[in-house]
Chains A and B, each alone.
Chain A
Amino acid sequence: MAHVSASVYSSHVPAIGVAIDQGRTEEPYYAPLFAGYQPARDWIAKNTPDVVVLVFNDHANAFGLEMIPTFALGMSAAYEPADEGWGARPVPTVKGHPALSAHIAHSVIRDDFDLTLVNDVPVDHGCTVPLSIMFGQPEQWPCAVIPLFVNVVQYPVPSGKRCLELGKSIRRAVESFDEDLDVQIWGTGGMSHQLQGERAGLINQPWDNAFLDRMIDDPEGQAAVDHVEYVREAGSEGIELVMWLVARGAMADLAGGPAPAEVHRLYHVPASNTAVGQLVLEDAAHSRNA
């Protein structure tokens, strides 16, 4: 049977992708950030999964305002990097896992989550920057990726609680898939940042660090936090952090099992306009090191 072995949490700042693409990771501005990423890169080199369910938001590239799915699951065999206005990133095509996508769709929709199922969609920096952060610049990504798009751009956006519950449902789906697959779930976006208005540039380090604490120890408590607190305290685009709760919901402790093991934690300010966070939590029930 398939199993969820770990969850990874990561900001997906476009500028970090640009730094990797342009070979600028050793510049003084970026060197401390990439030194901070190295433990996660070392970890995933030893713990490369078969499939990543990658939770992120589209930034007006795959979806416009014609249709706004709250949760959209990629069903395709391949996803091309999006042209976001600067030209597409020079990164490999993202290869999907249609059989596991189909299984998750059947399981999660029958579990009362009204997913939208999508094909032939490009993936933007929200998906490809976390892959670059973890894997660098390979000729092909070393695992399959199932994109899960969450609307955090146009309000109303899903609650933290809804995101956490979706993660629990995805865990149940993965664990009922017959093929023996090592699956990780990644929650991306954040941390505090605001990209618009006269308040742009907001960063809230105490709030971000408390969020990281609660992602480890109190995800149910964090899931109860209202949207307006994210916007007020972590900036208008800080709302992306609710997507981390999807990944956290897929850990064993929220299904009555043991708490995950904290492998890695990083916090860095800034990358471009944004506070950067990263967490790696191994599932105590299923990690290779258990």
Chain B
Amino acid sequence: MGIEKPYLDIPGTTVFDTDQAAAGYHLNGFAKSLTKAENRERFKVDEDAYLDEWPMTEAQKQAVRDRDFNAMIALGGNIYYVSKVGATDGQNYVEIVSSMTENDAETHKQMMIDGGRSPEGNRYLHEWEGR
């Protein structure tokens, strides 16, 4: 019997489970290394050289180069890890988070002030069909 994953029917959401963690082990290890100032400096000086120190897939490396957080998460990243790439770039959490949505940072910030994204129509995959 496989692992039950009732969370797979939630749209626009990736739960960081053991399968995701296995796929993203080195991607997340790379990202966590950016909690050290000297590593942030080395990454900023030569991103490709720094990425090549980690046995990540080419797709994972490209997602980092593109700062494509949705792609990083699809490839096994966890937001608390990969957000450290944004931190290294000097981004805050609103900037990082909004980059994964349809909104730019200012629009996202205003959406939050207005009460955030409603759960209505955002609970089940079938509610997003045709989007």
Residues of A within 8 A of B (CB): 14-15, 18, 29, 59-61, 64-65, 82-87, 153-156, 192, 194-205, 207, 226-228, 231-233, 236-237, 269-270, 272-273, 275
Contacts and interface: CB of A to CB of B under 8 A. Distances in A.
B78 A153 contact: yes
Contacts of A207: 119
A64 B79 CA distance: 13
Interface residues of B, number: 56
Contacts of B100: 196-198, 200
A87 B37 contact: yes
B18 interface: yes
Contacts of B73: 196-197
Given A197-B100, A198-B11, A201-B101, 4 more contacts: A200-B12, A202-B117, A272-B93, A272-B112
Contacts, number: 154
A289 B79 CA distance: 43
B35 A273 contact: no
B70 A197 contact: yes
6 contacts: A65-B21, A154-B16, A195-B79, A195-B93, A200-B98, A232-B124
A156 B115 CA distance: 30
- Prevailing SS type, chain B contact patch: helix
List the 10 closest pairs (A to B, CB-CB), nearest first: A203-B116, A85-B87, A199-B12, A198-B12, A85-B84, A270-B112, A155-B17, A201-B117, A59-B80, A196-B79
A200 B108 CA distance: 9
Contacts of B16: 153-155
A228 B6 contact: yes
